[in-house]
Amino acid sequence: MKHKVFVSRIIPDEGLNLVLDACDAEVWQDELPPPREILLEKIRDKVGLLSLLTDKIDAELMDLNPQLRVVANYAVGFDNIDIPAATQRGLPIGNTPGVLTDTTADFAFTMLMSAARRVVEGADYVRAGKWKTWGPKLLTGIDIHGATLGLIGFGRIGQAMAKRASGFDMRVLYYDQYRREDLEKSMGVVYADMDTLLHESDFVSIHTDLNESTRHMFNNDAFAKMKSSAVLINSARGPIIDPAALYDALSSGKIRAAALDVTEPEPIHMDSPLLTLPNCLVVPHIASASIATRGKMAEMAAKNLIAGVNGERLPTPVNPEVYEKGIRK
């Protein structure tokens, strides 16, 4: 008999077909996530859950159904899941590391370039019928080549950004809780403490995870330390930036521009003052959204789910320590 699982959204066929073949799957068909009470109801009789970053997976959900053997998150980030609670309950959690690194870095660099060279403002200008002539000062931006890029977080995606920056002859600083002396020479990057990075960078790009030490890391204090010509790029998690402090920094000229793939909250409210600023580019959490990468993420999440329902070790567990403790049966 096939194991019952819940898939909380339609994922690409590369993963969905694997799940449909291996499991007795119920797939949430709506474009919007299942409301909380429906998610809780759906997992009551399931052995596995393939979740999205929009689903909150907490102790309440885990305790509703002791038969739930695995949660496979369709994302590399897992701040939507209470990992200590899962580990304590012997519940393996999977994520999708690696496959989205280059796609996400491509997009973060695209946002950096778009903000520096005012691409979206230029397109809006043309569509609004404002293009009357070539102008010496028309939509002038800042150079990318030769500028200093400060990376907050130097994991896979931060490193992939550094590679892209080297093609633009940028000077690259990084700040991370783990210093990577092994990579500094070969990648041509320099470790800097947070204050130095903020003082010296023309572009600051965020590639760290969201946790209690990074929540609102970009607040009034941080903006006060940045160059007034600096551009901030966030393709990590929205709450790393305090949105009120960002609005103040952008509207008062403390920094030049921001490009956000992620916001607090998500989706951003349509009455957010950030949306009134021409120097704030906001897109809807699409940094990993290439067709190929979303397919690979689906395949990885499906493989985690299927291994988990069969009581096997997940290919990419977030909490491998659960296997030493003993997993839920």
Residues with catalytic function: 237, 266, 285
User: Counting contacts by CB under 6 A, is residue 148 touching ligand DGY?
Assistant: no
Minimum CB–partner distance for residue 75 and ligand DGY (Å): 3
User: Counting contacts by CB under 6 A, is residue 300 touching ligand DGY?
Assistant: no
User: Counting contacts by CB under 6 A, is residue 76 touching ligand DGY?
Assistant: yes
Strand partners, 218: 241
User: Counting contacts by CB under 6 A, is residue 75 touching ligand DGY?
Assistant: yes
User: Counting contacts by CB under 6 A, is residue 250 touching ligand DGY?
Assistant: no
CB 74 within 8 A of CB 301: yes
CB-wise, 111 or 226, nearer to ligand DGY?
111
Q: Which residues in the 89-118 window bind ligand DGY by CB under 6 A?
A: 100
Size of the site for ligand DGY (CB under 6 A): 6
Q: Which residues contact 305 (CB under 8 A, 6 or more apart)?
A: 5, 19, 23, 48, 49, 50, 70, 72, 94
CB 246 within 8 A of CB 274: yes
Task: Name the segment binding ligand DGY (CB under 6 A); options: 24-32, 73-81, 147-155, 252-260.
Answer: 73-81
**What is the amino acid identity at position 283?**
V
User: Counting contacts by CB under 6 A, is residue 157 touching ligand DGY?
Assistant: no
- Cα 150 to the chain's mean position, in Å? 18
Site string for ligand DGY, 159-188 (x = CB under 6 A): ------------------------------
List helix spans (H) across the chain: 13-22, 36-43, 59-64, 83-88, 101-117, 119-127, 156-166, 181-187, 194-200, 220-225, 243-251, 291-309, 322-325
User: Counting contacts by CB under 6 A, is residue 158 touching ligand DGY?
Assistant: no
Q: Which residues contact 10 (CB under 8 A, 6 or more apart)?
A: 16, 27, 28, 29
CB-wise, 61 or 236, nearer to ligand DGY?
236
Q: Which residues in the 259-288 window bind ligand DGY by CB under 6 A?
A: 288
Residues that bind ligand DGY (CB under 6 A): 53, 75-77, 100, 288
